[in-house]
Structure 1
Amino acid sequence: MKERDSESFESLSQVLPNTSNSARMIQMSMANSGSAAPAPAGQDHLDRSKWLLDCPEPPSPWQELKTQVKESYLTKAKKFKSLRKQPLPKRILFILQAVFPIFGWCRNYKLTMFKNDLMAGLTLASLCIPQSIGYATLAKLDPQYGLYTSVVPPLIYALMGTSREIAIGPVAVVSLLVSSMLQKLIDPETDPLGYKKLVLTTTFFAGIFQASFGIFRLGFLVDFLSHAAIVGFMGGAAIVIGLQQLKGLLGITNFTTNTDIVSVLRAVWRSCHQQWSPHTFILGCSFLSFILITPSSGRRTKSCFGYQQ
């Protein structure tokens, strides 16, 4: 038994060179455990502290990157090697299923699922239509462009997607980034045609990058983004989006093109003394109050809002 333990600790010290000292200490303590007297409590605590202080270092980002690349590509390479012995039709079917997963799950699709899918599609369509129009307005574009971006991507993802829970389409953060970056180059009010061309060019190159990330299986790069960075980015985007909605809430016509908090609040303060629509403000606050109050009141009166027990 002792020989097996010594061999295991020797292998551990070879794999993790930083743990050689701790492994030797553990091995010596186990070798002397049968004959020597038990160590005092203070000495045992000191040995444990040495083991903790001499723990192995975490892998570097470069090592993690190499590990992720190996896991992403070697698994695919092994699958393709196993297909060499298969006939040609099975190879073609495997490649089609890898590129278009619909060929894999459509064989098990039943007609009874169509009713639920139809209801889900109608529900999402009723939600996406006003939402996409709002995103187009946030990107300084016409409303029909928001409808284009909410219809075409789901059709493509239905053929090439692998997740049933993911939402495909425009988002508020991307719309805000597009408008904040491009309106510094071209003013959408003075040159709307040039602004639309610039937006289409930007989205075209963004699609090329996303397609290349999918082809080369580079989705693991998202793991290197820290949670704090993502939360900070989303929180800042939410604040900027909320400030940009003050233009429509107050009915302001001439508004600043900047997105920082100081410029937006300064523009709101100036417009409140000169031009703003109280009727628009009252109507907007009414709908906002309705949206905030409805969920809490709906839980209390479930029968009125269609909630089920």
Structure 2
Amino acid sequence: MAPSPKQLGKKIIGYPEQIVPVVTVKDWFLQFTSDPIQHAINYVYGLFPIIGWISRYNLGWLTGDVIAGLTVGIVLVPQGMSYAQIATLPVQYGLYSSFVGVLIYCFFATSKDVSIGPVAVMSLTVSQIIAHVDDAHPGKWEGPEIATTVAFICGFIVLGIGLLRLGWLVEFIPAPAVSGFMTGSAINIAAGQVPGLMGITGFNTRAATYEVIINTLKGLPRTTKDAAFGLTGLFALYGIRIMCDQLTKRLPGRARVFFFMSVFRNAFVIVVLTIASWLYTRHRGGSKGKFPIKILGTVPAGLQHVGQPTIDPELVSALAGELPVATIILLLEHIAISKSFGRVNNYKINPNQELIAIGVTNTIGSCFGAYPATGSFSRSALKSKSGVRTPAAGILSAIVVIVALYGLTPAFFWIPNAGLSAVIIHAVADLVASPPQVYSYWRVSPLEFLIWTAAVLVTIFSTIEIGVYVSVCVSLALLLVRIAHPRGYFLGKVTLRTSGSKEQREVFVPLSKDGITNSDIKVTPPEPGVIVYRLEESYLYPNAHSVNTVLVDYVKANMRRGKDMSAVKLRDRPWNDPGPRRGDGAYERERNASLPDIHAVVLDFSTVSQIDTTATQALIDTRNEIERWADHPVEFHFASVLSPWIRRALVAGGFGLGSSSSSVPYEIAAVVPYRDGLGDRPLSDLRQSPREEAEDIEKGLSSSKGKESINSVEKSVESGLEPLLSLETPFFHLDLESAVRAAESSLKAR
């Protein structure tokens, strides 16, 4: 049965004998517009994941959510106030961010475990933004106004990224880079809190980490009574956790009791330190309120800044340069945390929807005076271990925060600042990557280990902002290097036989030692004149030149040159290929005669998912260079071309059809058109030397009954079988074995 006109497709203008595959640009658009109404409904429905689970809410879920929500809320209150201090904001702004974060997120979340609110890294970034704006415009804007503006602008940007479904951009930043700047940031934050823990003053605690450490050591003689509260609180936090961990191992039956004892250690330590601070300072404040230790002071009760945020365009311009790093931290930290807990608890998050949730949370948060909030690792881990069942647990956490805002602010007055520093140091210490984790980066990818190391060192010796940029840029540079220098192998055959069976099959493995194939196995190269090459990356413009160089250099080093350059006069030789020197002609002729004549190049495209115009042009250049070297046409066979768009591109480049080499395009990616004196003649007419028409081994076979097509798996049309691949593209093959067999059969026929 002959192929139908629809199967043959459309002819290429200028090349009437060549056939384009069926796939068209219209097909590409149809996959997005097949049912636009349903797509729109699904899009809107996906914006509110709560619709999918709230109707099935039950008492069993409620129990787990209440426990987890209350537990996280109790931890969130002291952490929120502590992180606000890092951001150089009054502590109530940390509570505003905490309340809005956990409340709004549950309506848009695709993760049940993540807890949104103030986090250490974002708080430090906000403090640096406030300092930057204040240095440029002293006293013009207050810190809370700057922080709220950052929350609104960054939230709006992240919301736009999510709505446009651009969450895949986050995938360009690998996990080691995120871990690197998180580790460096945690060390930076902890070092900056040690002076507050010890009551040491007199230097900038937000300078580079190494400077803070040096100045802290120099300032140890100036330690004040604050250290009694700070060090006591820090040792108590670690002591309670270690004790609970040991008791859990000894009494596993009471593990849940010890877990909650450990969970409440933050609140317990703050309460004890607050009582101690009140007992010690209540009669020592004097008339001017100068206490012997630093305490929190007055915390306004309730939500004091509810309303439409005032966004000053001049302020936006002043902090515009700082917005990218704040946005990147919002994206990376939240997506990394949500993915991590999704893997642990066996569910899948939607990155785009998570970005929408973060964007909405921060945009609405600016109406409450909140500063930027994102996912917290420590609170998310606590929420997960507490047995959370749905995102609704955030509502209970919000209730705890709002109760603290309206009912506990008088007690907050006596909280020692050193105690909050202890809470911060204890929390951020868990963000530092453990030695086994760092070693795993080295085992998996030494280059990514170097990225991790660079991110940590840059963050410690400069700022978080530069650390973020370095980790992102180095990661992208590594990605480009890997794309631009893809791995590829020239292949040979190995015959495999199952033990105790007569069945055997041939597989293709690298001719060179690859560290995987047994080095004692002898790999048989293909027939002389046939080379087989496997690409292990998509074939795109960054790596097109590399692949071209590898193929051409291999042919020139291992295949016979068609023209004897020693017989060509020196003045007639091209300047860039002068051939052998005088006196070396006999040796070169003897060496050249011992090499096989190149007949076919077989390319394994099984791992190639994309090809572009530059790569297609590079493949045309490869064919032209190899044919100039061989001084005759060379066949190009392709195995496992799985994408119709790759077939379309290859056919446009004159591959796969078995056409005469004089009729295929010489250039399809012309940067500058050649028109001077050339008229409208095709470039193929301007070649330096005439080409013989390539022998087509499929000629006459595709329409002959009872004969076997080399690139198909059927023998006869009369038997009722249909060809699996189009007979109009005989040099496209279903697998590598059939491609090599076709090339070797053609070689024998020649």
Q: TM-score per shorter chain, which class? A: 0.5 to 0.7
- The within-5 A match list for 1:145-224 is 145-186=93-134, 191=139, 194-224=142-172
Q: After superposition, where does 1:295-306 map in structure 2 within 5 Å?
A: 295-302=241-248, 306=257
In the alignment, is the contact (CA less than 8 A) between 2:80 and 2:98 conserved in 1?
A: yes
Distance in 2 separating the partners of 1:261 and 1:227: 23
Deviation of 1:239 after TM superposition, in Å, equals 1.1
User: Could you tell me which residue of structure 2 aligns to residue 294 of structure 1?
Assistant: 240
Shift in Å, 1:162: 1.2
Change in Cα spacing, 1:299 to 1:271, as seen in structure 2 (3 Å) is closer
Aligned CA distance change for structure 1 residues 213 and 194 (closer, same or farther; 3 Å): same
- The answer on 1:276 being equivalent to 2:223 is yes
- Aligned residue type for 1:250: M
**How far apart in 2 are the matches of 1:241 and 1:74?**
52
In the aligned structure 2, how far is the partner of 1:110 from the partner of 1:265?
A: 52
Preserved contact between residue 96 and residue 103 of structure 1 (Cα < 8 Å): no
Deviates more, 1:127-136 or 1:226-235: 226-235
Rg larger in 1 or in 2? 2
Is 1:307 the equivalent of 2:307? no
Normalized per residue, which structure has more helix?
1
- TM-superposed deviation, 1:191: 4.2
CA offset digits 1:252-283 (Å, max 9, x no partner)? 3443154302431344245434x430x32233
Task: Provide closer, same or farther for how the CA distance between residues 204 and 80 of structure 1 changes in structure 2, counting only shifts above 3 A.
Answer: farther
Identity of aligned residues (%): 32
Equivalent in 261, 265, 268 of residue 209 of structure 2: 261
Name the structure 1 match of 2:627: none
Unaligned runs of 5+ in 1: 1-69, 85-90
Map of 1:244 onto structure 2: 192
Per-residue CA distance 1:55-93 (angstroms, 9 max, x = gap):
xxxxxxxxxxxxxxx9xx998x47854728xxxxxx76x
One-letter amino acid of the counterpart of residue 83, structure 1: Q
Separation in 2, partners of 1:192, 1:112: 53
Shift of the 161–246 alpha-carbon distance from structure 1 to 2, 3 Å rule, reads: same
Return closer, same or farther for 1:74/1:246 CA change in 2, 3 Å cut-off.
Answer: farther
Contact 1:180–1:259, Cα closer than 8 Å, also in 2? no
Tell me the distance in 2 between the aligned counterparts of 1:168 and 1:119.
Answer: 17
TM-score, structure 1 as length reference: 0.64
* C-alpha contact (below 8 Å) 1:139/1:179 kept by paired residues: yes
Amino acid at match of 1:289: F
Q: Secondary structure at the match of 1:301?
A: helix
State the AA in 1 paired with 2:91.
P
Q: Deviations over 1:127-164 (max 9, x none)?
A: 11111111100000011110111111222211111111
Partner of 1:132: 80
**Equivalences for 1:54-65 in 2 at 5 Å?**
none
1:154-204 CA-partner distances (Å, limit 9, x unpaired): 2221111111122211211111111123213316xx849522222221121
- Partner Cα distance (2:55, 2:171) in 1: 33
Alignment of 1:108-127 (within 5 A): 108-127=56-75
* Greater mean alpha carbon deviation, residues 137-146 or residues 251-260: 251-260
The 5 A counterparts of 1:26-105 are 77=32, 81=36, 83=38, 94-105=42-53
The higher relative CO (CA closer than 8 Å, separation ≥ 6) is in 2
Cα deviations by residue, 1:199-241 (Å, 9 ceiling, x for unpaired): 2211211111111111112222221112332222111101110
Q: Alpha-carbon deviation of 1:119?
A: 1.6
Q: How many residues align?
A: 225
TM-score between the two structures when normalised by the length of structure 2: 0.28
Aligned-partner Cα distance in 2 for 1:167–1:293: 26
Task: Answer with 232-241 or 191-200: which moved more.
Answer: 191-200
Amino acid at match of 2:258: Y
Shift in alpha-carbon separation, 1:276–1:184, aligned structure 2, 3 A: farther
Report the Cα distance in structure 2 between the residues aligned to 1:83 and 1:220, rounded to whole angstroms. Answer: 23
Return the alpha-carbon distance in structure 2 between the equivalents of residues 133 and 115 of structure 1.
28
Mapped partners of 1:224, 1:282: distance in 2: 46
CA–CA distance in structure 1, aligned partners of residues 134 and 105 of structure 2: 32
CA separation in 1, counterparts of 2:130 and 2:212?
18
The equivalent residue for 2:318 is none
The alpha-carbon distance between structure 1 residues 295 and 194, as it changes in their structure 2 partners (threshold 3 A), is closer
Label 1:112 to 1:78 Cα distance change in 2 as closer, same or farther (>3 A).
farther
- AA aligned to 1:298 is C
Shift in CA distance, 192/267, structure 1 to aligned 2, threshold 3 Å? farther
* Alpha-carbon distance in structure 1 between the residues aligned to 2:243 and 2:134: 46
Q: How much does 1:242 deviate?
A: 0.8
Distance 2:146 2:158 in 1: 18
Could you tell me which amino acid in structure 1 is paired with residue 234 of structure 2? L
8 Å contact from structure 2 (residues 191, 209) kept in 1 = yes
Query: SS state of the match for residue 64, structure 2?
Result: helix
